[in-house]
Amino acid sequence: MQMTLAHIGSRAGAKDNYEGLIDNYLQRCAGVMQCSTEAFRSEAAFLDWLGKQRGRTEAVVLMLDARGRQMTSESLAEWLGKQRDEGQQHVVFAVGPADGWSAEALAEAKRRGGLLSLGQMTLAHQLARLVVAEQLYRACTILTGHPYHTGH
């Protein structure tokens, strides 16, 4: 299964301290799931890209939003395992623009998967991307029984 961590904003520069950490976590997932990142200059560009994704199944999309559902690490792993086991080919986690998702994007999220909340606190987008990357790696370790996740 392919997982993409997408965000609205400029591509990370060489001096972005988060990018190396994000890439590190996503590379660790390689034995379980293929992971990649995508950056889009606008929400419209993201939605256009999303519409062009082709596969046997339509991509499932979880857009990060404070109004979304909250999951434990275990429930995220269970959800990803279910997507994988049901033959889902592509799951996209998307961090939105600074002013939030538009009504059009929220409707697309509702149709394709939903909204995911990392909690009620507001996080810098790069930090949110890092948290999601770590949680994707953690989910992979839970699914494979690796000792990285101990539940504490």
> What tokens appear for 126 in the block?
């790069």
- What order do you get walking across the sheet with 90-95 strand by strand? 34-40, 2-8, 90-95, 60-69, 113-116
pLDDT attached to residue 152: 60
Contact between 6 and 38 (Cβ < 8 Å):
yes
Residue type for 10, please? S
Residue 52 burial by Cβ neighbours in a 10 Å radius (0-12, 13-18, 19+): exposed
pLDDT attached to residue 58: 94
CA–CA distance, 4 with 68 (Å, rounded to integer):
19
CA–CA distance, 98 with 41 (Å, rounded to integer):
12
> What tokens appear for 141 in the block?
């370790």
What residue spans define the domains of the chain?
2-144
Residue type for 122, please? T
- The answer regarding whether domain 2-144 maps to CATH 3.30.565.10 reads no
| The model's pTM | 0.93
pLDDT attached to residue 13: 62
User: pLDDT digits over 12-66, tens only?
Assistant: 665 678 999 999 999 999 989 999 999 999 999 999 999 999 888 899 999 999 9
Taking the alpha carbons at both ends of the chain, their separation in whole angstroms is 28
Cα dihedral across residues 122, 128, 132, 135: positive or negative: negative
